[in-house]
Structure 1
Amino acid sequence: MTAPELDILGRAHALFTGQREMPLLEPTSALPPVVTDGLPTAYRRAANWHGDELGAARRVDAELSAILVRAQRDHRDAQQQTRAVLEAARADAESAPDNPVAQRELTRRRAARLRAQHAHVLAARRRARRRLALLRALRYRRRRLRMPAPNSRAALAVRAALSRLGCPYVWGATGPDRFDCSGLVKWAYAQAGVHLDRTTYDQINDGVPVARSEVRPGDLVFPHAGHVQMAIGNGMVVEAPHAGANVQISRMGANVAIRRPL
C-alpha cells in the first residue's frame, strides 16, 4: 500500500509546486491638486471627474494587491501542509511493522494521512474560489455600468448580493452565509427593505415584466421557472447557481424572463 499512498499524496502536493510568485501592483500615483479657480465650470467638472476616477483606480489596485497577497499566502500554506503529510508518509515507508498491533497502527496513520491531504486540497480549492469571486467583483466595479441611483432600493439589493460572493449554495438556505438561488435574491432585497416571495415559482410573478433589452441592475432574471438570478449590469448577473457551487457572477443567458420588483 505504500507506493500507491505515496503516489496519491505526491500528486496532491504537486498541485502546489512549480508556481512562480505573482508580481504585486505598484500603487497608482496620486495627481497633484488641480487649481481650478477662474476656469470654466465644464473644466472644473472634468477635472473633478478624473480625480474621482483616479481615486477609484487606486482603491481597486489596493484591493487587488491584497487579494494577490492572500492568494500567494494560501498557496504557500497549502504547499507546506501537503509537503508535511507527504514527508510523514515517506518516513513511515522506512519502517516495517513486525507485529499485528504495529501493522494496525501503520494502517491507521495511512488512512489519517489520506484524509488530511484530501482536506488540505479541498480547503485550498474553497479559498481559490473565494479569491476568484473577489477578483470578478473587482472587474465588475471597474466597468462602466448603467447602474441605478446609488441609494435606490435596486442598488442596495445589488450591493447586498455582491457582498455574498463566495458563499456556498445550500438548498433551502436564505442567508446570511449560505443561500439557494431564491434565498439569495430574497435576502438581498430584504436588505433594501423590499419583500420578495420565497421561491422562484412565486418570485417569477413578483413586480412587473421587463424586456431583455430594458434590463437594469436589480432586475430578477429567470433562465427557467426553477432558477433566479439578479442582473448587475453589462449583461452579467449574480447568482447562487447550484449545489457544490458558490455565489458567483455569471453571464446572462439569451432566453430569459425578467421581472422588476416594485
Structure 2
Amino acid sequence: MTELEVLLRAHRLFTTAVLPSAPLTAGHVQMPAVDGGSRALDAYRARRQAAVLAQRTAAQTDSALGGVLSGAQQDHARALSLTRQVLDEARRDTGGAADSPVAQREAIRRAAARLRTQHGHVVTARRRAALRLAILRALRYRVLQRFRQSGGAPLAPGDTRAAVAVRAALSRLGRPYVWGATGPDRFDCSGLVQWAYRQAGVQIDRTTYDQIDDGIAVPRSQVRPGDLVFPHSGHVQMAIGNGMVVEAPYTGANVRVSPLGDNVVIRRPLA
C-alpha cells in the first residue's frame, strides 16, 4: 500500500456525513385546572411541583446532550480538515526524481512524518470520541436513575455509604488513568474505588488482588451500586446501577462509565 493510499484511507474515516443535531428542548408542562377542596388542591400542587422539577431536569439533560453532540460534530469536522491537509500535502509533494541517496532519504523522511501526523490525528479523534461516549453513558445512567427513583426498581438510598462512594467515583469522570495513582485527579483501577470509598468514610484495600477478597461475595443477579466488580483478577470496577459500572480502565484512557460484563466476580464492601 502506497503512502497516498494509507493517508486517503485515514481521511475517509471522517468523510461520512454527520447528521446535524436539532436543538433539544423540553416542552412546557401543561397542568389542567382543578376544582374541589383543599385536599384536591394540595394534590394538584404536589403534582405540579413534580412536573416542573421533571421538566427542569429534562431541560438540563437535553442541554448536556446537545453539548456532547455539538462537540462530537466539531471533533469530526476538525479531524476531517486535518487529515485532508496531510493528504493534500502528500499530493503536492511530487519532489521530482529522487536521483541521489540524499534526495531519497529526504523523500522518505517527509513521507514518514506525514504518516506519523495522520496517525496522530486518527488516534486523537478516537480518544475524544471515547471520552464523549463515556459522557453519554453517564447521562444515560443519570436519566435511568431518576426514572427508577420515580417509579421503577429502587437504587441504593442516597444517604448510604455505597451511594456516596458511587457519587464520588462519578465525579472523577474524564480523569486520566495512571498506573499506581490514587487520586484525586489521576487513578488506576483500584485507586479509583479505594479513593471513592474513602470519601464515604470506608477503608478498603489498595490493590485489586487484595480488594477481590474484601467484603462478601454477591451473585451478579443481586449486584447493587457500590459493589466492586472484577472482570478478571487484575481489574476492578464499581457498579453504579442500571447495568453499568464506573472504571479507570487502562493507560491512555480516562475514568468512564461502561456496561457491566457477564462473567464477573462481585464483592460488596462492608460499609
Do both proteins adopt the same fold according to a TM-score greater than 0.5, normalized to the shorter chain?
yes
What is the aligned-residue RMSD (CA, Å)? 2.8
Q: Name the CA distance, whole Å, in 2 between partners of 1:118 and 1:259.
A: 43
Q: Name the CA distance, whole Å, in 2 between partners of 1:79 and 1:160.
A: 37
Structure 1 residue 109: Cα displacement: 1.2
1:114–1:249: structure 2 CA closer, same or farther, 3 Å change rule?
Answer: same
3-state DSSP of counterpart to 1:51: helix
* Residues 38-83 of structure 1: per-residue CA shift (max 9 Å, x gap): 4443333222222211111110000000001100000111111111
Structure 1 residue 130: Cα displacement: 0.4
3-state DSSP of counterpart to 2:92: helix
Q: Name the CA distance, whole Å, in 2 between partners of 1:33 and 1:172.
A: 55
- Map 1:161-200 to 2 at 5 A: 161-200=169-208
Structure 1 residue 111: Cα displacement: 1.0
Q: Name the CA distance, whole Å, in 1 between partners of 2:221 and 2:199.
A: 27
Q: 1:174–1:184: 8 Å Cα contact kept in structure 2?
A: yes
- Select between 176-185 and 46-55 the one with higher mean Cα deviation: 176-185
- Map 1:35-114 to 2 at 5 A: 38=38, 39-93=40-94, 95-114=96-115
- Map 1:217-236 to 2 at 5 A: 217-236=225-244
- Select between 193-202 and 30-39 the one with higher mean Cα deviation: 30-39
3-state DSSP of counterpart to 2:230: strand
Q: 1:210–1:260: 8 Å Cα contact kept in structure 2?
A: no
Equivalent AA in structure 1 for residue 194 of structure 2: K
3-state DSSP of counterpart to 2:2: helix
User: Percent same amino acid at aligned positions?
Assistant: 55
One of 15, 20, 27 as aligned partner of 2:18: 20
Q: Normalized against structure 1, the TM-score is what? A: 0.85
Q: Name the CA distance, whole Å, in 1 between partners of 2:22 and 2:197.
A: 37
Q: Name the CA distance, whole Å, in 2 between partners of 1:207 and 1:44.
A: 45
Unaligned segments of structure 2, at least 5 residues: 149-153
* Residues 4-26 of structure 1: per-residue CA shift (max 9 Å, x gap): 00000110111111313332333
3-state DSSP of counterpart to 1:148: coil
Q: Name the CA distance, whole Å, in 1 between partners of 2:219 and 2:33.
A: 46
- Select between 227-236 and 126-135 the one with higher mean Cα deviation: 227-236
Equivalent AA in structure 2 for residue 56 of structure 1: T
* Count of matched residue pairs: 260
Q: Name the CA distance, whole Å, in 1 between partners of 2:101 and 2:178.
A: 44
Unaligned segments of structure 1, at least 5 residues: none
Structure 1 residue 198: Cα displacement: 0.3
Structure 1 residue 169: Cα displacement: 4.1
Alignment partner, residue 151 of structure 2: none
Q: Name the CA distance, whole Å, in 1 between partners of 2:100 and 2:112.
A: 19
Q: Name the CA distance, whole Å, in 2 between partners of 1:191 and 1:22.
A: 41
